[in-house]
Amino acid sequence: MGLLSTIETPADVRRLSPARTRQLATEIRDFLVENVSRTGGHLGPNLGVVELTIAMHRAFASPRDTFVFDTGHQCYVHKLLTGRQDFSALRKRDGLSGYPSRAESEHDVVENSHASTALSWADGIAKANTVQGRDDRHVVAVIGDGALTGGMAWEAINNIAADADRRLVIVVNDNGRSYSPTIGGVANHLDTLRVTRGYEAFLGWGKRTLHRTGAPGRFAYDWLHGLKKGLKDVVAPQGMFEDLGLKYIGPVDGHDTEATEAALRRAKAFGGPVIVHVITEKGRGYTPAEEDVADRFHAVGKIHPETGLPVAPSRFGWTQVFADEIVEIGRRRSDVVAITAAMLHPVGLAPFAQEFPERTFDVGIAEQHAVTSAAGMAFAGLHPVVAVYATFLNRAFDQVLMDVALHKAGVTFVLDRAGITGDDGASHNGMWDMAMLRIVPGLRLAAPRDEVTLRSALRTAVDVDDAPTVVRYPKGALGDPIEAIEELEGVDVVARHAPAATAPAGRRVLVVGVGSMAGAALVTGESLAVHGLEVDVVSPTWVLPVPERLVKLTGEHDLVVTLEDGVVDGGVGAMLAQRAAEQGVRTAFVHRGLPVEFLDHASRDQIVTEQRLRAEDAVRDALAALAQD
């Protein structure tokens, strides 16, 4: 029976001897590799924070002391040390979440897995502790170096530094990476701070050099003073953090539990805001992750633990199509540039960056800056393509509206993982984009259904130079191609079903499949035809604004069924019904989509079933609507 299995609460961790904490760290790494390789999950980040998390639970007393993780995907070790050691259903329905979860434990606080928010949370909690006289409590915020590229983190630091009375410890987990190597001025400065421990050694070299040369005393003093001041300006931490009014401790070896614990205890004793700069290695202790340069182990599917190779190679997916097509576009168009927010590889821009490095801009975890910078590039004659996960565009809505759309800037937004993503839970489902973006004046949005329509939509999008364009697609593998049998002014007809000759004369039904729901729309059409109905199935690639031909088609049918993998209230179907009503069309509608709710982590199939997005659900609702008419 291993040591890990005896850990039920953080108090058990605090009782361990230093030697036993090192044994615990080894067991935790073995546990993570063995279990996450079976389920998939964020492996690399958690391997990197084993000793750090142990030290936190030894120096502080959670949940009295509040731990806040940014972005939360490095919370697996925290879960293990707070009594959650059943990882058999990690990120699956009824299993542990891949992020902190209040439903799981009183030790978890912030569930949102978006980056750069932890310091604001921590600031608010610390302020509340002060107002309510809880002077015996600390707040500990763990923020990765990548999250410090987000502007919200610096807004929080500005406020935290203004009040020296709050018991708040900021742990900067500096591993040089977020999804990929961290970029920008903050990263460069942290790189410099890593050599701070060489400061005294270099100063010693200066003294020895003066002694050997026999330089005059006053000259030696001035030279040494200048050297010391120059070194301090270059490598000492005061240049960044203490000048802001924050006490700084570090850099500390984050894989030395005793050293990290000692630094945290010093920070705790200070009684005010302190930054503890901890150096860690992402993927620590697992050779495939340590040797990986593409950061494939940030988040993995099921892998062979011995090699780190996938159990089942992934099928050719949506992201790969985008990656290929944007390179082809870049070869034809020298004005096309690519922008990403610290996710060059995940969104498929790595091939573009390799071929056109001077036209690729990774701005860090700073979506707002990415969008407004794109507006500036468009003004200056370029056509920017901003590639992000759909859920992260929420963070930059104001910039899309006021900086891009208001100025009629030709900027293309490519939204990966749109719709249901499932495993990562509520904050990662890309379900809000269509309902949110429908109110942006002039914006055009495409929801391609297959590889051909994705490539076509991208080519069309970058040709628009006087308005924002959006191309959205889901996570995962491509489905089978769905060819149009007819094109009606921008609306693809993908199937027509006449009622059987022996069936009684039926009514006409129009089934509209938006993007990845086109396959379900085809099955819905086939099933409705069996009931003696005349059915047309359409899948328009460009869905916002609603095509006029689609509005006209609604008036030619007795019932319209819409299927989409976004929020149904205010979605494409709702917009179509609104436009039809404005033109006096009285056709009945059945809308199938996602509710205005936060969906728990589960597989895509489970969510589709629970939210009644299967073809049989649409058929049942359509027949019920016709029966009531």
CA 305 to chain centre: 25
HSE-up (13 A, CA, CB side) for residue 334 = 0
Bind-site residues for Mg(2+): 145, 175
Cα four-point dihedral sign 307, 309, 312, 313: negative
Residue where a domain stops, chosen among 449, 472, 495: 472
CA distance 266 to 138: 13
Helices (H), 67-184: 76-81, 118-131, 151-160
What does residue 583 show for φ and ψ, rounded to 5 degrees? -100, 10
Residue range 458-482, pLDDT digits in tens: 999 999 999 999 999 998 889 899 9
| Amino acid 608: pLDDT | 86
Determine the structural domain holding residue 495 and report its residue range: 486-628
Q: Within this chain, do residues 460 and 503 fall inside the same structural domain, yes or no?
A: no
Domains identified in the chain, total number? 3
Longest C-alpha distance within the chain, in Å? 113
What are the residues facing 252 on neighbouring strands? Answer: 278
Q: Within this chain, do residues 191 and 336 fall inside the same structural domain, yes or no?
A: no
Low-confidence stretches of the chain (pLDDT < 70) are: 1, 113, 145, 177-241, 243, 293-295, 312-315, 500-506
- pTM for the full predicted model: 0.81
Residue 21 near residue 50, CB atoms below 8 Å: no
Question: Is residue 295, in this structure, part of any structural domain at all?
Answer: no
Q: Within this chain, do residues 465 and 542 fall inside the same structural domain, yes or no?
A: no
Q: Within this chain, do residues 555 and 407 fall inside the same structural domain, yes or no?
A: no
Q: H/E element holding 110?
A: none
From the list 82, 95, 94, 104, the residue with the least C-alpha distance to 35 is: 95
**SS3 of residue 478 by DSSP:** coil
| Amino acid 183: pLDDT | 54
Residue where a domain stops, chosen among 472, 503, 530: 472
Q: Within this chain, do residues 273 and 370 fall inside the same structural domain, yes or no?
A: no
**SS3 of residue 286 by DSSP:** coil
Q: Within this chain, do residues 358 and 329 fall inside the same structural domain, yes or no?
A: yes
Question: Is residue 27, in this structure, part of any structural domain at all?
Answer: yes
Domain containing residue 129: CATH number: 3.40.50.970
CA distance 278 to 253: 6
Question: Is residue 304, in this structure, part of any structural domain at all?
Answer: no
Q: Within this chain, do residues 48 and 183 fall inside the same structural domain, yes or no?
A: yes
CA dist 288 → 109, 280, 344 (Å): 32, 17, 21
Question: Is residue 187, in this structure, part of any structural domain at all?
Answer: yes
What are the residues facing 39 on neighbouring strands? Answer: none
| Amino acid 297: pLDDT | 76
Place of tokens 């992402």: 282
Question: Is residue 298, in this structure, part of any structural domain at all?
Answer: no
CA 20 to chain centre: 36
Question: Is residue 101, in this structure, part of any structural domain at all?
Answer: yes
Domain containing residue 550: CATH number: 3.40.50.920
CA distance 11 to 27: 18
Q: Within this chain, do residues 525 and 398 fall inside the same structural domain, yes or no?
A: no
**SS3 of residue 104 by DSSP:** coil
**SS3 of residue 34 by DSSP:** helix
Exposed / middle / buried, residue 344 (Cβ in 10 Å: 0-12, 13-18, 19+): buried
From the list 400, 488, 387, 403, the residue with the least C-alpha distance to 444 is: 400
131 C-beta neighbours (distance < 10 Å), count: 8
Question: Is residue 297, in this structure, part of any structural domain at all?
Answer: no
Q: Within this chain, do residues 253 and 209 fall inside the same structural domain, yes or no?
A: yes
Q: Give the pairing of strands 534-538 and 491-497.
A: antiparallel
In eight-state DSSP terms, residue 6 is: G
Q: Give the pairing of strands 542-544 and 534-538.
A: unpaired
CA distance 437 to 416: 15
Tokens of 505: 């004369």
**Cis peptide, bond prior to residue 545, ω within 30 of zero:** yes
CA distance 86 to 163: 41
Residue range 165-189, pLDDT digits in tens: 889 999 999 887 655 555 555 555 5
Taking the CA atoms of the chain, what radius of gyration do you get in angstroms? 28
Catalytic positions: 282, 367, 395
CA distance 363 to 145: 14
